[in-house]
Each structure stands twice: as structure tokens, then as C-alpha cells.
Structure 1
Amino acid sequence: MTVTSSRRTRFLPALAGLAALPLVLGACAGAPEAEDKGPAASGYPVEASSCGFTSTFTAAPERAVTMNQGATEVMLALDLSDRMAGTAYLDDAVPEKWAQDYGTVKVLSDEYPDNETLLAAKPDFVYASYASAFGPEAGGAQDELTKLGIGSFLSLFGCGENKPSADVSFASVWDEIEIVADVFGVPERADALEKEQQGELDRLAAAKPGAGLDVFWFDSGDKTAFAGAGEGGPQLILDAVGATNIFADLDGGWADVSWERVVEADPDVIVLADASWSTAADKIKQLEKDPALKGLRAVKAKKYVVIPFSESTPGVRLADGAVSVGEQLTDLAQQG
């Protein structure tokens, strides 16, 4: 699986004679401009746009706050922990490779910090994976943050109402990483990550550890199954390993499906998302206890693949998720 792309253009370079811009310009029509803070730094201004909202920067942020694990891990992968004033809302454990850097960042809240807590951290950049982070009970609206001179960025895949700014693909995952890297003036770090991950995907494409396997991606649910559908992280991972998603025909990244459909499909393998709010162990108990589900071939043979939830969503760990699923499928094949 090879994704070819030149560096995507997302930022508007300063034009000759352009008046000096404030750190963050009005990010939507009608937003007032902040006080002029002098000339832009070299390589600036840059624009960070997603979900119909744009923040403009004339210098790299120094006090970023991340509002979800996916956003946090993009910052850590780009080696930007020293630019972080706070973080919040983990779905599962931060990988060991970033644990030390993560330990240096203040945790503002177990879930979303409210606006008062967020502002107390004195951020100059707020980065979130989901639109809910900018809700009235959370950090507050992006345009309100702009009025306070605070830039913000929402993931390309987190716009809400199942309407991402970009098609879900590894290329668009790398687009988001590049946006953040450019905001902080470290584009070379994004390029290195993309090259590394493309290499991993190429190796998976050659090996095809999932070839011939029908897979049910089980995220959560009891009365119905919340399953990986045909347009999200699970589908990208299953495509990368050469497996077939039994619910690839469903729109969106995730979908509620009846257990009758799962039983009818009778998958070869079940991928279990492991999250603090729905663990893989709990899902295995559910599958092995239910009178109908315990008869599935995958359940009887214990053909389970376990993946952290944060490796199943579009983000910097999605390629890691593909590698992990591929390795586990190879192990299952060797077990017979």
C-alpha cells in the first residue's frame, strides 16, 4: 500500500509588503483582531484550517494545551512536549516511547477542562481531536478563544456530525500532522514521521497478514454492536493488512449493527478495541457468555486481536495500529 503525495499546501506565506499580523488573527468572519504584536517571525504567518475554521499564527506557540489523547500524541510524536502547558482526556495509556515526555506535561483534567481551567493554563494554542472539546461545558468556542488571542485547531476528522474536513486516509492523517508541525515551525519532523510510517505500510502490503480473513471490528455495545464501518480508522487498518471488514459496506467510520448481522457474518477474527470505558476483557466476557455469540467461529477458537482504542482512530498512532493488528494476525495463523 503506497500513498504518494507531495507536501500538501495548507498555509499562506507572507506576501511582500503585507502588514504585520497579530499572533492570532480573527479566525472567523466578524471576529475582532487582537492587538498588533509586531512583525511575523521568519516563515510566518501560517494558517491552520479545519472544519470551516482558521487560526493564523505569526510565531510558533509556546504554551499549547491538548484536549484529547490523539492531539496530545501528535504533539509528543513531533517532540513538542516543551511547548505544552497542559493536556487532558486520555482514552488509554500513552505508549512507552512517549511516556517520559508525557510525564513532564501538566494534566489539567481527567476529561475536558472547563473554560476557566483552560484559561488558567494561559494557553496560546488549543488543539483538540473532537468538536466536543470546544463545547460550552468544555474549553469554549474557538471564536471566543480567538477574541482572547488564543489560536486553536480541531482535528480534520473531528468536525462533528460525522462531517470530517478530509476523507479518512493515511495521507490525510499525515496532512494533519503536517499542519501542526508547520504551526510550530518544525515541518521536517512531520516529513520524517510520514516516511517512517509509509515504510511500515509498505511492509504490511507486501506481507498481507490478513489475506482471506473476514474480520469484525468490535468497539463497544451490548444491545447492538458499535462496529468499525467502511470509512474510518478500522477500515484503513484492515485494508493495510489485507483483511476484509464484514461491515465495509456501511457508511462512516463506525456504525451500530445488530448482533444478528454479526452472527450471520460469522467472522474469522474479532478485533477488540481496548479503552478505559470499554475494555477488551469486558468484551470477551460478553462474547463468551452470550448464547448466540459464543457460537461464532472466532469466539470458539478465541481468535481475538486486541488494539488500544487510540490506535484505531485517525491519528499519529494509526500506522502503529496497523502494524500491531498485522503482527497479531500472523501469530494467530501460526497457532492454527
Structure 2
Amino acid sequence: MSPIRPTGPIRVGRAAATAFLLTGVLGACTGAPAPSTSAGATGSAAPVSVDNCGTTVTVGAPPARLVTLNEGATEVALALGLQSRMAGTAYLDDSIPEKWKAAYDSVPVLSEKYPTKEKLLAARPDFLYSSYASAFSDKVAGTREELQGQGIPSYVSPFGCSDKSKVAPTTWQSVWGELTDVAKVFGVQDRAAAIQQQQEQQLAQFKATAAGKDLKVLWFDSDTKTPFVGAGHGGPQLVLDAVGARNVFADLPGGWQNVSWEKVVAADPDAIVLADASWDTAQSKIDYLEQDPVLSKLGAVQRKAFVVVPFSESTPGVLLADGAAKVSAGLGQLHPAS
């Protein structure tokens, strides 16, 4: 994401975001060191179990042929330095951050979206990890029960459980809980603890800076007909709370909601955070806002008060703190309209 400049949309690029992180204790999400394999890091062959979406997942030893089926899962694996234990990956929402690009390039890409069941099984996985329950359907990997019967345990992000009553609350502790679960399965808890500590330091810095103080912010994800926006209980709310900004749709339930453009106009945001995804780019949303005869008159649009964040940094996961860094850097250059 980038700060808003009067000459154009503010896009804090990856290099700029990195520079921002280096100004404080923000080294949190840099490249991961090689995972520890010592017994102290649970590198032993003793069985390990974690509770996941109401299911107990048990491995007799750290898996050696992991396949990740969504970008969020892939990024957790790369953050933990598991690339040498990955037999495949699939389904990007935008792009892998530069800090993990070399590690990602060393892993076979099975499919642009979800792979077929045949292609997936041909990779001989001994563990499957997905951000969404949709990966575990008959059209993709098969059900988790079927896979377990074939000796392939699996893990779904606690934010993506098929049973909605089991979905984890959207908190930073839940983000770190997922990271810790995966680290426990693979015997690299020390790495997960280090990432959590670094991100806690980041959040403390964001709170102290309060770059979003006094700013009303719209988080625009997708859909120009009935805009899909960040509501009061998802990744966008966590980020906006972290930087001290006010989400104009914080009173809506859930993480995301469709709203009317009339409500957006009535909210009159000071800044607009735009998700940049492969299926709906930030630029396409900017073009729509600037070309619409009503929306183009919004103060935020006229000032080009846009902060662009990759979609993968707007959802609960290991990159959400990176999204907060971009939003903090972007909003830090803005001031409420007088």
C-alpha cells in the first residue's frame, strides 16, 4: 500500500514497505532462516497432535512432502522455512512477496488454481494444508476423512473451517495460533515464536505511531455493483485498529460485507484502501471510482487518497502484519479533509 499523494494514488511498493519496516523493529516478516531440526525444536519422531476445526490432526513424524493448496497456506509454509519439505503448491491470489520468491521458485507448482485429484496424488503428499475448506471437496483433494484413510493428514486454516461454528475469531492471537499449529506439526516451533515476537513488536510500533488517527477509511475489496468492503470483524478491521484508523463500516458484522454506493458516499471516507488481487486489481477499482460521475466527487477520490494492499495481506495470515505496515505508511502521509 502506498500513501496518498496529490499527484497520484499512493502505492507503497515492496521496496518502500521494506524500507519502512527497517525504520523500527519491523524485521518481522523477512526471509525465514532454515528450520531447526534439533530434538529441542521437536524434530523427534514422537507423534504430534493439533486440534483443527474440530478435528484432531496427528502426525507420527514431521511431514516431508507437504502440498499447500492456497496462497495463504503457502506463505505460512515459506515463512517457517519449509520449502525443502514441500512437494507442491497451488493457487495464488496475487504474487509471492520478494522475500520468499527464491524459496517459492524451488517448489513445484501443481496448478494455477486447484489441481486435479490425480495431479495432487501424483505429487505423493504426506500432508495437505489449505486456507479454505473448498480444497477438500470431491472435485479437488477429496474429503479430509478420505485422505486420512489414505494416510494423508491435512490442516485447514482455522479461519476457513467448513463448520462455521468452528471458525476462529479474527484476532492476532488466532493468526499466530495457526502459525504455531503448523510449526508444531513440522517441528519448528522456535521459528513460529520468533515470527510472533517480531510481529508483536511491529504492532506496538504501529500503535505508538497511530498513523491513521482521525482518518475515516473505506476498505474496498472488490465488486463495483455492490462493493464488497471490510466490515467489523476481519483482517481489514485488525489492520485499521492497529494503525489507529476508523473503519467506516466497522458496525457491520463479519469480516466482509456488500454495501451500497449510497452508503459509501454517505460515509465520505478520508482514504480508501484497495485490495490488489489477480481477479480484481486495485487499478481497475481506481479507474471505476475516478470515472463514475458521483464517486469521482468523493474527497478521497479527488485527492487520490488510495492505499494499495495485496489481497494476501488483507486476510488473516502471516502477511497481515505486512499489510498493516503498508497501511500505516500510506495513512501516515494523509490528513483528514478540512
Which protein is bigger by CA-based radius of gyration? 1
The alignment partner of 2:332 has SS state of helix
1:48 positional shift: 2.7
TM-superposition CA deviations, 1:45-69 (whole Å, max 9, x none): 2113222222211100000000000
1:309 positional shift: 0.2
Question: Please, which of 126, 129, 154 is the counterpart of residue 131 of structure 2?
Answer: 129
C-alpha contact 1:162 1:252 (8 A) present in aligned 2: no
Question: Please, which of 73, 76, 79 is the counterpart of residue 75 of structure 2?
Answer: 73
Which runs of 5 or more residues in structure 1 are unaligned?
1-39
* 2:188 alignment counterpart: 186
The CA distance in 2 between the partners of 1:105 and 1:333, in whole Å, is 44
How many equivalent residue pairs? 297
Greater relative contact order structure (CA < 8 Å, 6+ sep): 2
Which runs of 5 or more residues in structure 2 are unaligned?
1-41
C-alpha contact 2:69 2:131 (8 A) present in aligned 1: yes
Q: Provide runs of 4+ in structure 1 moved above 4 Å.
A: 161-164, 333-336
The alignment partner of 1:79 has SS state of coil
C-alpha contact 1:157 1:163 (8 A) present in aligned 2: no
Please show how residues 112-151 of structure 1 align to structure 2 within 5 Å: 112-151=114-153
TM-superposition CA deviations, 1:8-52 (whole Å, max 9, x none): xxxxxxxxxxxxxxxxxxxxxxxxxxxxxxxx9836321132222
Question: Please, which of 313, 321, 325 is the counterpart of residue 323 of structure 1?
Answer: 325
Question: Please, which of 283, 286, 290 is the counterpart of residue 284 of structure 1?
Answer: 286
The CA distance in 2 between the partners of 1:181 and 1:148, in whole Å, is 23
* 1:228 alignment counterpart: 230
C-alpha contact 1:158 1:164 (8 A) present in aligned 2: no
* 2:303 alignment counterpart: 301
C-alpha contact 2:159 2:170 (8 A) present in aligned 1: yes
Question: Please, which of 92, 95, 99 is the counterpart of residue 93 of structure 1?
Answer: 95
The alignment partner of 1:291 has SS state of coil
1:274 alignment partner AA: D
* 2:250 alignment counterpart: 248
1:247 positional shift: 0.6
1:332 positional shift: 3.3
Taking only the aligned residue pairs, the percentage that are identical comes to: 56
TM-superposition CA deviations, 1:164-204 (whole Å, max 9, x none): 53111111100000000000011000000000100000000
* 1:199 alignment counterpart: 201
1:138 positional shift: 1.3
More displaced stretch, 304-313 vs 109-118: 109-118
The CA distance in 2 between the partners of 1:153 and 1:164, in whole Å, is 13
The alignment partner of 2:211 has SS state of coil
